[in-house]
A and B are shown apart, each in its own frame.
Chain A
Amino acid sequence: MHAETLVDPRTVDARRVSTAGDMQGFAAAQLVQQATGGDLEAFEELIRRLQRRVYGFAYQHLRDSDEAHDLAQEIFVKLYRNLGRYDAERPFEPWFWKLAANTSINYRRKRVPLPAEATDESAGEDEANFLKHDPTLVEALAQLDPAYRLPVLLHYYADMSLEQVSHSLNVSVAAVKSRLHRARAQLRNSLAEAEEVGDL
């Protein structure tokens, strides 16, 4: 039986709720409710729970640790300012990732792109270790058009369903599917080219 049927959300402190499985979404929604009521510790706990995925999402989108830090921070500041807009009757994560996606789109519009060499040189140890993991795919993803990269990150990285991605990006499910197919085809071609170069 699901935990939601056993407990009254209003009487539970989400910081004590287990983080396992489907309890995570419930706990996040509970933290949001507490944060909306002015509980700053609950908001800080919410940041700690989401920061890894949000920073990762920002990093995959921008490929620069400082800019990813700025974008991730902007996403959380926007979350804080819009806490009151969250409808507690609906699941938190799709609403949150829609806000994250919109913030990312606006951030990219106003940013000044950095030269690629400068980014690689300034990479920290953690970043360098990350680049060793599937570097060809990371590189191919970086080359992808942002209009294709965002649905890929939301669907495969943030683990959102096609319906949730379509809601986040304000496009139809068919359009999301089409973008994902094209994005994956482009990635596949980039990977094949990289393999050919490696074989030479």
Chain B
Amino acid sequence: MDNPLACARVRVLLEPFVDGDLDANVAEQVRRHLVTCAECRRQHDQAISLPFRLKALSSPAPRASFAQDVMRAVAPARSMDRQVWTLLAPEALLAGFILWYLSGLEGLSSIASGTFNDLLGLAGGSLPSVPPVDVVLVIALIALTCIAGYHLSLLIRVAPTSLQSRRHA
């Protein structure tokens, strides 16, 4: 016959006993001990009621303004999302202008030959003259690069939300 369990041992086993997690032999020993020990029976009753008391635990209500507070807190993220889309307009405008100015491969080759002539001019010692329309192009390119860089930084910041949304869409 198994040795009877001591009170200290039984009290450690009460929670697994209540949940039915003990093997049959140990559970039987706990049951036999509980028949004879009033103090452990009281602890056993406590162990049974505790999960129900925990489930019934109440908490204070949040402030009435809680939902509005959260919506205010997410507002910067919302405006950032809007900004990401708004930036597409100036980018498209600048890209359109640059493409129009370059007008395809012909435009590109004329720019390349112009740059080559300028370099030749530099090698010859005299400064090349920069046509005013090229200055406009350079300004447009710089502006586009700056806006695109800022746009990219915004995209990186909002990436966890927007990129994953597109994945699920």
Inter-subunit contact B59/A59 (CB<8 Å): yes
Q: Identify which of residues 152-189 in chain A touch chain B, using a CB-to-CB cut-off of 8 Å.
A: 152, 156-157, 159, 177, 180-182, 184-185, 187-188
A184's contact among B50, B58, B66, B78, by CB below 8 Å, is which?
B50
- Asked if A137 lies at the interface with its beta carbon under 8 angstroms from chain B, I say yes
Per-residue contact bits, chain A 12-54, to B (CB 8 Å; 1 contact, 0 not): 0000000000000000000000001110100110011001100
- Asked if B67 lies at the interface with its beta carbon under 8 angstroms from chain A, I say yes
Per-residue contact bits, chain A 120-152, to B (CB 8 Å; 1 contact, 0 not): 000010110110011001100100000000001
Inter-subunit contact A126/B60 (CB<8 Å): yes
Per-residue contact bits, chain B 146-169, to A (CB 8 Å; 1 contact, 0 not): 000000000000001111110110
- Asked if B106 lies at the interface with its beta carbon under 8 angstroms from chain A, I say no
Question: How far does the Cβ of B113 sit from chain A's closest Cβ, in whole Å?
Answer: 49
Q: Identify which of residues 184-200 in chain A touch chain B, using a CB-to-CB cut-off of 8 Å.
A: 184-185, 187-188, 191-192
Inter-subunit contact B15/A138 (CB<8 Å): no
| Beta-carbon nearest neighbor of A159 in chain B | B55
- Asked if B11 lies at the interface with its beta carbon under 8 angstroms from chain A, I say yes
Inter-subunit contact A47/B167 (CB<8 Å): no
Contact-size category for A: 35 or more
Check A40/B78 contact, CB under 8 A, given A55-B61, A187-B50: yes
Q: Identify which of residues 59-85 in chain A touch chain B, using a CB-to-CB cut-off of 8 Å.
A: 59-60, 65, 68-69, 72-73, 76-77, 80-85
B15's contact among A60, A156, A159, A180, by CB below 8 Å, is which?
A180
Q: Identify which of residues 76-104 in chain B touch chain A, using a CB-to-CB cut-off of 8 Å.
A: 77-78, 81
Write 20 A-B pairs (CB below 8 A) sorted by A numbering.
Answer: A48-B67, A55-B60, A56-B58, A60-B57, A72-B66, A73-B70, A76-B70, A77-B70, A77-B77, A81-B77, A81-B161, A83-B161, A130-B58, A133-B57, A152-B54, A157-B57, A181-B21, A187-B54, A188-B46, A188-B47
Give the B-binding residues of A (Cβ under 8 A).
36-38, 40, 43-44, 47-48, 51-52, 55-57, 59-60, 65, 68-69, 72-73, 76-77, 80-85, 87-88, 124, 126-127, 129-130, 133-134, 137-138, 141, 152, 156-157, 159, 177, 180-182, 184-185, 187-188, 191-192
